[in-house]
Structure 1
Amino acid sequence: MENQSINQNKGSFLGSFLQSTTIKMIMVGMLTLVLLIPLAFVNDLIHERSERKKEVVNEVSQLWGKDVFFYGPILKVPYKSYTETAVVDSKTNQTSIERKTSVEYAYFFPDKISNISDIKKNTSLKRGIYSNVVYTADMKFDGHFGKLNFEKLDLTDEDLEWDKASLVVKTTNLKSIKSDLAVKLNQQNFNFESKESDDNFYGMLETGTFDYRTLAPNGKLDFSFAMKYNGSNSIKFIPIGKTTQINLNSDWDSPSFEGMFAANDATKSISKKGFHADWKIMDVNRSFSQQYTKKLPNLNEYSFGVKLIETVDEYQQNDRASKYGFLVIGLTFLVYFLIQLINKINIHIFQYTMLGLALIMFYTLLIAITEHSSFSLAYLIASVAVIGMIVLYSITFLKTKKFPLFIGTALSGIYAFIYVIIQLENYALLVGSIGLFIILGLVMYFSRKIDWNNSNNQ
């Protein structure tokens, strides 16, 4: 009888312990941590889909045209270069000087370059479900070369082959040029042709040769030409003129101005209809010369221009939403747990598990629907579907509509709060911190009358 009484006491103690508030809190907390595993799988899915989009966008960009990088125009003039070699006669043992002549090239940058570019985004180019940041750019150039200062290169007039001069442009994306490349030099027409380049980054366009002295008898050579590009991502220039003026107009509403030189704040404008930006760069603003011999220098560090960006694409928004998954699960479980304690309603751990899985399904629905519609619409559909499921399921075990409706309202508030944070950029941290502070205050208020010392509190 005594052993039976002891066993009954042990059983009663064990049953009471397993039903205690502390154990229920531990079980719900452990379940919350376990649910981080499928949540991590959802994050992996988002990253996988994002990488797939990048691959497709890169593939389309390769076909359509990549970043446009413009370096030119440059006047190219060949000159005679001499090398002297001492030759020893093996029979007489006398030394003679052998002089060899080779042809090198001198390069002269213009006194002035002006460019007006009209950049139009292309929204029709899609591959499957993925859109691309691509554009068509109509670019017009004009300017002039002044009197050439070949003395600075330690060259003589007799060594320069003026009758074999040409005009050179270095640029990326030769295959994406979609216009005839005619250039006007002092009212005479020439054509650019693609030439072999010693630079893997640039391609090279060069005119046929002309007699510089005949074409520019007063030393001034005016030029004008137009180019049409299919491009993606960005347009950049190198300011090789003594005065370089760039004027960009576009219907893209989210530009990022990049490079060494800032656009003119007085004329720069950005709106939902597009942007306008001007640059005026003088030779005193950069530290390189106006003339070179043998080969052109790498001046990429002096580049400037605009990058056409998506401020937050659908996968970035999904990723930001999924990072709040732990918060949503934790707050939802907390609401159910407080209802359970305050109203002495028994909620099984299996039911918590079903609720947690429903909350995780929100993110899979969100990413799936976003790929076929806007993020805002997908967020609305996914949240309504998940909240509706949770409310209907809650009615079955809470045995009343009052608490499920309250939970539905609370979840709607949480999802709305997270949506606002995702849309914000500059104030996301501030709004998020204030919101969490308010939520913590509400939890403290509603749990103030709970007797946590009573381990049998249901």
Structure 2
Amino acid sequence: MNKGMSLYKLGMIGLLILLLMIPLLMINGIIQDRQTRRDAVIEDIARSSSYSQQISGPMLIVPYRKKIQVSRLDASQQRYEETVEERGRLYFLPEQFEFNGDVKTEVRARGIYEARLFHADNKISGQFVLPEHFGIGNDFADYQFDEPFLAVGISDIRGIENALKLDLDGEKLDFIPGTDVPLLGEGVRAMLPIETGNEKKRLNFAFDLRLQGTGQLQITPVGKASTVHLQADWPHPSFIGNYLPTSREISETNFTATWRTSFFSTNLQETLNRCSALETCQEFKARSFGVSFISPVDQYLKSDRSIKYALLFIALTFAGFLLFEVLKGLAVHPVQYALVGAALALFYLLLLSMSEHIAFGLAYLLSATACVALIGFYVCHVLRSAAHGLGFGIGLGALYALLYGLLSAEDYALLMGSLLLFGLLMVFMVLTRKLDWYAIAQRTAKPVEAPLEVSHE
């Protein structure tokens, strides 16, 4: 009977923990819903301004026509030769490609939700090397060439903020909308007044491109030797794509990064040869890299990560109550367990609602302080001792501080969590090492004849 009463108490505590998972799951659902609404607002802002940007190019294209003999069959199945005109294009990538971008970010708000836009002031330059006879060889005389042009792919042309001018060996040329190159997609092009002579040509180009976008900026390193340098007033860059920067510096207010690639690392010329006849080529655009201006850990992700520790918090708090019961001979009713558990669960709702309006760290401090103060005040009366209640509140506050450390140290969260659990288990085992659990079961099974006096230890 005595053992049964003890097991009954433990069973009630376990049931309470399971029941408290219901409001925790509901709060987690609210977090997911608010995050989905935030993402929808960001998408709507991007739809009204410009999406993520990817710059592919420049690329030099030489359209050609060539007369060839084709063997055909007439109505009587007699074979004859016919001269037809074949149309095609020659594609050339830069020998050298340099990209220098200076990025400024800004916040656009809609209600309580925010989206971060960027304005990139880019200077693009380099050199094309056109081989003799365009690399055609002995059949060069059979070709007729139309006007060459330079094309630059820009994934969302709505973000172009300046009138584009191409500097080609000192000559200023206008860009016109559209790349006329399916594999580049949207963008601009400039017609090139160059002669189709027999000599090898070197063409130096440069142009400025001011570009607005949302979320990400990516560049395709089209040069035989490419150098890309980006600097931005954003302290949380997430480098994306197939290549990481060869050098980078990140401070509390900005970052700088430099990439260097070659055809040996990108294999872009061979990829272009395979893709030149296709309307779309994801393989070509996939040879890109860049930076994301989206906050890697926002308030919703931090709230979601914090609620994953809710079950641990409730279990540790209830374990603290059990320690007081067995060490001090106090009786804590399951309803009192439930009220303290409800206060612990409401912490996460307070944290979510506050973090949408103020910084996450301040929201965490205010929410944790409110919960610790409420639970500490309540526990003073539950445990019939102001000293015990104060000690319990201090311990709970330490747990909240440790949780914030877990949220902040993402790379070491597992290690810190493991050490925390081991340390708490060690404390529990040390404090209860001399207890006679059978005697405690008999004591807790007896009815309490009179309430204990409040101690002022």
- Tell me the TM-score normalized by structure 2: 0.88
Determine helix, strand or coil for the equivalent of 1:132. strand
Which stretches in structure 2 are left out of the alignment for 5+ residues?
445-457
What are the within-5 Å matches in structure 2 for residues 406-425 of structure 1? 406-425=391-410
Is 1:106 aligned to 2:86, yes or no? no
TM-superposed deviation, 1:43: 1.4
Instruction: Determine whether 1:256 maps to 2:241.
Output: no
Which of 79-88 and 359-368 deviates more? 79-88
Measure the CA separation in 1 of the matches of 2:132 and 2:269: 11
Other-structure match for 2:372: 387
Query: Is the Cα contact below 8 Å between 2:220 and 2:289 reproduced in 1?
Result: yes
**Helix, strand or coil at the partner of 1:146:** strand
**Corresponding position: 1:377 with 2:362:** yes
Judged with a 3 Å threshold, the aligned counterparts in structure 2 of structure 1 residues 207 and 365 are, in CA distance, closer, same or farther, namely same
Task: Give the aligned CA root-mean-square deviation in angstroms.
Answer: 2.5
| Cα distance in 1 for residues equivalent to 2:249 and 2:10 | 56
Q: What is the match of residue 454 of structure 2? A: none
Distance of aligned partners of 1:59 and 1:90 in 2 relative to their CA distance in 1, 3 Å threshold: same
Tell me how far 1:138 sits from its aligned partner.
0.6
Shift of the 73–439 alpha-carbon distance from structure 1 to 2, 3 Å rule, reads same
What's the % identity of the aligned pairs?
A: 28
**Per the alignment, in what secondary structure is the counterpart of residue 438 of structure 2?**
coil
1:129-140 aligned within 5 A? 129-140=112-123
Given candidates 342, 346, 352, the residue that maps to 1:357 is 342
Classify 1:68/1:212 alpha carbon distance in 2 versus 1 (closer, same or farther; 3 Å). Answer: farther
Residue 160 of structure 1, CA deviation: 4.6
Query: Which of residues 298, 309, 325 in structure 2 aligns to 1:313?
Result: 298
Q: What per-residue deviation string (whole Å, max 9, x for no partner) do you get for residues 279-320 of structure 1?
A: 222233332438856568641232122233423111111111
- Corresponding residue of 2:453: none
Q: Deviations over 1:85-134 (max 9, x none)?
A: 4344436x6432122114322111121111111011113x1122122232
1:346 aligns with 2:320: no
For residue 226 of structure 2, what is the aligned residue in structure 1? 244
Task: Answer yes or no: is 1:54 the counterpart of 2:34.
Answer: no
Helix, strand or coil: the match of 2:442? coil
Letter in 2 for 1:269: E
When residues 294 and 47 of structure 1 are mapped into structure 2, their CA distance, relative to the original with a 3 A threshold, is closer
Judging changes above 3 Å, is the alpha-carbon distance between structure 1 residues 365 and 229 closer, same or farther for their aligned structure 2 residues?
Answer: same
Q: Secondary structure at the match of 2:411?
A: coil
Conservation of the 8 A alpha-carbon contact between 2:12 and 2:334? yes
In the alignment of these two chains, the number of paired residues is 438
- TM-score, length-normalised on structure 1? 0.88
Counterpart residue identity of residue 115, structure 1: F
The reply to whether residue 327 of structure 1 matches residue 312 of structure 2 is yes
* Structure 1: gaps (5+ residues): 1-12
Matched, 1:127 2:110: yes
Secondary structure at the counterpart of residue 130 of structure 2:
coil
Q: Contact (CA 8 Å) 1:163, 1:211: kept in 2 or not?
A: no
Q: CA deviation at 1:218?
A: 6.5
- Counterpart contact for 1:106–1:294, Cα < 8 Å: no
Q: Secondary structure at the match of 2:335?
A: helix
The separation in 1 between residues aligned to 2:132 and 2:258, in whole angstroms, is 29
d(CA) in 2 for partners of 1:26 and 1:449? 24
Amino acid paired to 2:64: Y
Structure 1 residue 150: Cα displacement: 5.2
Whether 1:226 and 2:208 are equivalent positions in the alignment is yes
Query: After TM superposition, what 4+ stretches of structure 1 lie above 4 angstroms from structure 2?
Result: 149-155, 159-163, 196-201, 290-298
